[in-house]
Structure 1
């Protein structure tokens, strides 16, 4: 159940990220940080999808750990874009909250997966 939730929410996060990237490039003419942001935000869902198709429980946990790192990196780029005033507080808040929600779900799945794997 939570796997399908994280799959859906990470995909939705990627869609929001791609649209936001297009906006930053077109309207703000920012190309470097926004490209890093795009790579990390789309990598979250990519690694979640790989985790869903993992060959073993350790592989599943490993792929989700990568997704967790990418989600945290996404939040870093958002924080930096906000701090350098490329994006407004409202733009920042929306995507940051969405990223944080996905991050919490991923962390929860990793914790519960490790518990069941080690029992």
Structure 2
């Protein structure tokens, strides 16, 4: 079975960056809760996959760079610090950055905490 860190890296570097949508079936739980400040959204695996597919379709390319990956001692939680470059279909680039914390149970992502993202890159 994959470690929590391996699952989170696959989620960002393969599912998102390389648009390997089939991985959703392997690494996302039946339901995944996306937590934001003051609210949360529960997505089925199919909804989570569609979210990735729809977001990727809106851009010519989308690339996550994981600057920092920290796996918790509990074997379930992984925090990432990322920069992302989104290139629109007309060639314009937007850079965003954020921090996310994932919970992985039995090799599948069950929860993601995200406080939002900002334009620009980490310094």
TM-score tier after normalising by the smaller chain length: under 0.3
TM-score (ref. length: structure 1): 0.28
TM-score (ref. length: structure 2): 0.27
Larger radius of gyration: 1
Higher share in helix:
1
Higher share in strand:
2
